[in-house]
Structure 1
Amino acid sequence: MSIETRLAELGITLPQPAAPVASYVAAVEANGLLHISGQLPFVDGQLMTGRLGEDRDVDYGQTAAKMCGVMLIAQIKAALGSLDRVERIVKLGAFISSGADFTDQPKVANGASDLMVSVFGDAGKHARSAVGVPVLPLGAVVEIDAIVAVKSA
């Protein structure tokens, strides 16, 4: 089954990949690895903002992480032309805007991790970091970047 078919089964429609907002590119392919710049969570064009443990809860954060994952997949497709070129999701780096007492960053990052496994199966299983930070660009609640192994053409 193609990844596109799997996305359709999951009811996921990929958005237009977000354009960079500063001096960087969305993706760089080097030595068989695709490095995707950090992606922010959007729902219906609106940025998901806030801080976990202050004005947002874990469920909100997990949804935001999933939406970052959807944007990562959109960036992968834009960079590779086909999601079937994904050999494996190697690593996700999750940055979670959170208060000093909030310690559930790994639970929040599961929103993106679970999505990758749902979409890519065993190839979606990855290494990961989940880090709490005081603030993210544009007030986003979560930002996630990725490293993806690419099948040789």
Structure 2
Amino acid sequence: MDDEFAKEHGLMTDKELADMDQRWKKTEEEALKNMLKHFDRIHDKLFNFNNILIAGYFALSKLEKEISLATILIPIANLVVLLYIEYKMMEKNRFESEITKKPPHEIELWGKKIVRTNQYSLLAIISTSIVLLLFLRYLLS
């Protein structure tokens, strides 16, 4: 189909289709960048909230004699989980910063690992929620 035929019949020309395809690819790239920013912001908020919970557990153990100081290990264990997730995200970014220099088999293997990114974020949310629920249980008992 030539451009004149397309214009006559209200269809998009080849150039318009190519431009639209380029815009979609750019939108895809921007969405990926934004998604990673959102993951980073979520992880930062969980990290900060966990630090508040560490202080809360410490305060509870000092105010309530029946609550052991060892309960502070609960949010500290969660902190270790959050640090591990941050490390994995850093590793992901390091790999992707040199992705054009990697052989295809490494990229394919990495693609299988990258699926876990969402799972790590979900793990961070769940583990921090559990720490919060335990804190509330200690606080209200």
TM-score by length of 2: 0.27
Answer 1 or 2: higher relative contact order, Cα 8 Å, separation at least 6. 1
More strand by share: 1
More helix by share: 2
- Which has the higher Rg, Structure 1 or Structure 2? 2
TM-score by length of 1: 0.25
